[in-house]
A and B are shown apart, each in its own frame.
Chain A
């Protein structure tokens, strides 16, 4: 399998299930994605113990869009280019909205409130990123 485009932000299990990797503050239980280390950003918490946490794999679409024109570098746009779809997905348990590319769905297939599930996919130049896919 291709290497991840960024280390430590998501993991793929042996069964193929993809999880976002965040952190959780041991003090106040606030969840962070991308993984926050060293200190908790809750102004009421002095916590410095942030432990790795797998985030929920399913969430609902907060909003979505696409990139009709190839995004500029450092994005590696495919040639020929087909619009990249993006979705911001709300994870209920963590109380967080996470942005990601959407795999195999276009804006015409999406609506706000729709359930999506985490997967992964390759950037045009090879490495993998997390992506939201059909639940």
Chain B
């Protein structure tokens, strides 16, 4: 039995200044409409939590269920940082596969403050996420910049390459009605934007956004009985953790694990995330029609393209420069426009990636349509060791 994606819904990304609950409800209702299902028929609700919106954010499943109207549906709430949405999908899918329910609603939404993400308030010297700001002033973009500089040193990538990622993603995002940034940009504009964390400039780094995304998942049997769409199936959900020792300096850590006693694992954490998804789906990177990856920075999209196997290490720049990863290219990366066009709405983002997978695989992505899309992967990583990759197929 398979789990199908019967409906998708999004609230447009932006800085709307309203409660995350509104975005979540709008996305949920859109997903239910898309599925052709009434809210009262949903048996199970999973909310991806947000930590910056008080108690209702910590119990997002109940918050959304109450807002949509209590029906007695069973719920779960989960938090896995940027991977929260993937975990929510995983929980709903697993429950359907276990035969414990037929149809589930997955919702994630966030309302974000302006500027850098900062740690949760208070004096908390036992929390590494607080300490990295206190002792080092190490913001999230600082970590993205370390990876970017490392690429430049190891592979010879240039700021012009990074700018080309932004140009590509802005082009795709200009065609997406749910994206926050709809303007195309030039490489010159990216390279003239203020330096934030050398070598990354403002337009290399994804913003923080408000937004909401939702999915209706159902067992294939239920979907057939009810006449719901069965066009897109979930072939894999990877929620792997790193293998010790993790030799990549991860946000928000002060150091890597040590290789003094145990040699590094065969794959880096990011590469292991996609690998597990491919194993579960019985597919490989060569089978993909496109991929959505977590471009927290332009340079990080290049890392991801290699980590998910679209290019050997160091050669994602070549793929980019050949136009292969652009819309209309051989293997488009981030046809949605990516985080470059959306900005990050943490608990909604992995769900939004799957919304794009679904639209593309249904052939309903309009001017962004990847021709003959058959299989796609969405990859993401949540801080503190949360892998997230989902493969969907037609």
Contacts and interface: CB of A to CB of B under 8 A. Distances in A.
Interface of A: 5-6, 24-25, 28-34, 41-45, 62-75, 77, 84, 86, 88, 93-101, 107, 111-113, 123, 129
Nearest to A87: B146
Interface stretch (B133-141, B211-219, B373-381): B133-141
B321 interface: no
14 contacts: A30-B261, A44-B262, A62-B150, A64-B146, A66-B197, A71-B133, A77-B137, A86-B137, A86-B138, A93-B260, A96-B259, A97-B249, A99-B132, A100-B136
Interface residues of B, number: 47
Interface string B122-136: 010100101111111
A66 B215 CA distance: 39
A68 B200 CA distance: 10
B254 A96 contact: no
B119 to A, nearest CB: 7
Given A43-B244, A66-B197, A73-B118, A98 B254 contact: yes
Contacts of A107: 198
B256 interface: yes
Given A63-B150, A74-B119, A101 B258 contact: no
A34 B149 CA distance: 24
A66 B257 CA distance: 23
Nearest to A33: B255
A86 B273 CA distance: 28
B260 A97 contact: no
Contact of A45 (B154, B247, B261): B261
Nearest to B137: A71
B73 interface: no
A65 B137 CA distance: 12
Interface string B253-281: 11111111110000000000000000000
